[in-house]
A and B are shown apart, each in its own frame.
Chain A
Amino acid sequence: MSDFRHFMKRGAVMSDMASERRLIEACQRGDREAFHELFDAHKDGVWTIALRFTGDESVARDVTQQVFLKLFTSIAGFRHESNFKTWLYRLVANECMDEFRKKRRLIPLDFLKGGRPAFSDDRDEDCGEVEIKDWREEPLQEERLARLEISEAVLAALMQLKPKLRMAIVLKYFEDLSYEQMAEALGCSMGTVASRLNRGHKALAQKLAHLRS
């Protein structure tokens, strides 16, 4: 019976993959209608990541449109060597991070924690990058939390996470990606994915420790 189930499941997945491949190949030939279908199939996923990452509908709209515009101009280069969804989500993650960097340039230095230099020691393992502290990363006020529903409080806490940790949480919990898919989408190792999720979970738990009882 398990063989049968496996066969059925594999059949369904292969069928979906074949349909998507045909759609992508039509897009690569410049078929606008096919691109519209591809957009329809993935727009909610892209929008969800952009919205949950940026927390702002107008920014999410810009990010989503830019992602699909980049997809339109670059889809000819997609060689079906990787999973299309994770390839697309890599565009989304990059666009979100670009958007964050743009916004960060506008933040006055006064907002940076304790007047310290803009760089923290928080080195991201494997990627070897140095990250600027997010000025929004400060404790949530108790009275503010009391006014929020739990999911709103979690969302508020999520918005205070460092961008890389936030993106890992968004991809895991809103899009249900595996560590392997996340590593592909984020362009890092599975170890880095695990580390970012570890840190993201801990940060959420610490910011919302009062909900633990």
Chain B
Amino acid sequence: MMFWNHVSNRLSAYLHGELRPEESRRVAEHLMICPRCRDEYEEIKFGSQLAARLSKDLARAQAPATLWAGLEEMIDGVEAERRRPGAVQGAVATWWKIALAGAAALAIALAVFRFYPRAPRPGWDVTRIEGEPRIGSKTVGEAGKLRVGEWLVTDDSSRAEIRVGEIGQVQVDPGSRVRLVEAKADENRLALDRGKMQAFIWAPPRQFYVDTPSAVAVDLGCAYTLEVGADGQGLLSVIAGWVAFEWQGRETFVPAMAMCVTRPRFGPGTPYFSDASEDFQNALAIFDVAESGSDARSNALQTALSKSRKRDALTLWHLLARADGDDRLRVYNRLAELIPPPAQATPEAVMRGDRAALDLWWEKLELGSAEWWRIWKGPVPSQTK
């Protein structure tokens, strides 16, 4: 029996994409010819789906608010113990001369450190709107400063406004945690850990970013709301302008009146207009998370296509890049019914992911020029002239 050829001990790693490409290929080939390992793979996959269900339904738990108080008492106890004279008496008796010299050196060093002029960490002004928002452990009065690395936290009854340097403002709604990650002339970045924020940015594109647990929202000159749940899922709703949602090579462009969900481990989903039918939105949600090549994914795509309107061309255009094989061809055909493709966007060109052809088709959607997408990835036009 070719026992050593079985791949059962690598099946979870294969499932999680943790194997090197050649190993992964070997496992896939073996699964095609070995019913025993295939059965085992199905069992492991089912166990993995159950576990994934846990993380989806239960999400990350929030630590009780009272934890810190109890911990602080314990820390006080440890520090009091450290300061107890007996704890260091012997050492002082033996090494008092060295210790005194060290203490003197330390005092001098501390004095130099204390009076040496240091630049403060950059920060943004915060204004209290209501309640008692906090920066770190301190309550913001009427106004405060959020410095790089600090968290702004609002409880269920507080709200605050952050002035994003000279380029915009962000309102932080109740129950939110926002951290200032970077405050530079060319990069302004917040991290929204949970809760909801509304951003209004008037700077040129690509100067303001918001990190969420599963995507980065890149401002392209716009107003939008961004919400992150306790499970790390995010919802972006654009009010004006455009926002790009990016994660590990996957990107989504979201125009005004459109929305996009982002999910941990999956990244940004497919964007859709907020007035799309519920069936259409539900089908997209399934398509975004279902396993590639699965019947569930294919069926969801079929539903989305059958429910799509001309206005949903935005969604279908994004689906062209996300669907594979026959599914991509089905998307092509439906989009072609809604918005006839330009001559260059042949099925062959689109099937091989020809960007120029896709861009030309994009132009026909009348949502703004594809040229503009490419510009924002490069230098700002006014700076290049």
Contact = CB atoms under 8 A, between A and B. Distances in A.
Given A33-B136, A40-B151, A202 B47 contact: yes
A68 B74 CA distance: 10
B136 A69 contact: no
Interface string B29-62: 0000000000010011111101111111110111
A201 B182 contact: no
Most buried by B among A35, A48, A197: A197
Contact of B47 (A8, A11, A191, A204): A204
B6 interface: no
A194 B50 contact: no
A51 to B, nearest CB: 5
Contacts of B313: none
B71 interface: yes
A191 B9 CA distance: 9
22 contacts: A1-B377, A36-B68, A36-B136, A46-B63, A47-B61, A48-B61, A64-B63, A64-B67, A65-B74, A150-B57, A151-B58, A174-B54, A176-B264, A179-B13, A195-B9, A197-B12, A198-B9, A200-B47, A201-B45, A201-B47, A202-B40, A204-B47
Interface residues of A, number: 66
B246 interface: yes
B67 A61 contact: yes
Interface in A154-195: 154-155, 157-158, 169, 172-174, 176, 178-179, 190-191, 194-195
A195 B18 CA distance: 13
B18 A194 contact: yes
B289 to A, nearest CB: 14
Interface size class of B (residues with CB under 8 A): 35 or more
Nearest to B232: A176
A135 interface: no
Most chain A Cβ neighbours within 10 Å, of B8, B43, B181, B249: B43
Central interface residue in A200, A201, A211, by most chain B CB within 10 Å? A201
Nearest to B230: A44
A61 B64 contact: yes
Given A5-B251, A52-B58, A151-B57, 14 more contacts: A9-B248, A16-B191, A43-B67, A44-B63, A46-B63, A64-B63, A151-B54, A154-B50, A154-B53, A176-B265, A204-B51, A205-B43, A205-B46, A206-B43
A69 B71 contact: yes
A154 B51 contact: yes
Contacts of A4: 377
A76 to B, nearest CB: 12
B367 to A, nearest CB: 19
Nearest to B10: A194
A57 B46 CA distance: 29
Nearest to B121: A22
Contacts of B209: 12
A16 to B, nearest CB: 6
A112 interface: no
B377 A39 contact: no
B150 interface: yes
Interface string B50-88: 111111111011111001101100110010000000000
A15 interface: yes
Contact of B78 (A1, A36, A73, A169): A73
Contacts of B137: 33, 36-37
Given A39-B71, A46-B63, A151 B53 contact: yes
Contact of B43 (A72, A169, A201): A201
Interface centre among B47, B209, B264 (most CB of A within 10 A): B47
Contact of A69 (B75, B153, B377): B75
Contact of A154 (B54, B63, B67, B191): B54
Nearest to B177: A40
Given A15-B189, A44-B63, A47-B61, A201 B70 contact: no
A40 to B, nearest CB: 6
Interface string A83-122: 0000000000000000000000000000000000000000
B149 interface: yes
A212 interface: yes
A81 B43 CA distance: 38
Interface in A34-70: 35-37, 39-41, 43-48, 51-52, 57, 61, 64-65, 68-69
Contacts of A172: 16, 51
A141 interface: no
Contacts of B377: 1, 4
A173 B56 CA distance: 9
Interface string B125-137: 0000000000011
Given A47-B63, A73-B78, A204 B71 contact: no
A136 B369 CA distance: 62
B227 interface: no
Q: Which of B55, B71, B189 has the most CB of A within 10 A?
A: B71
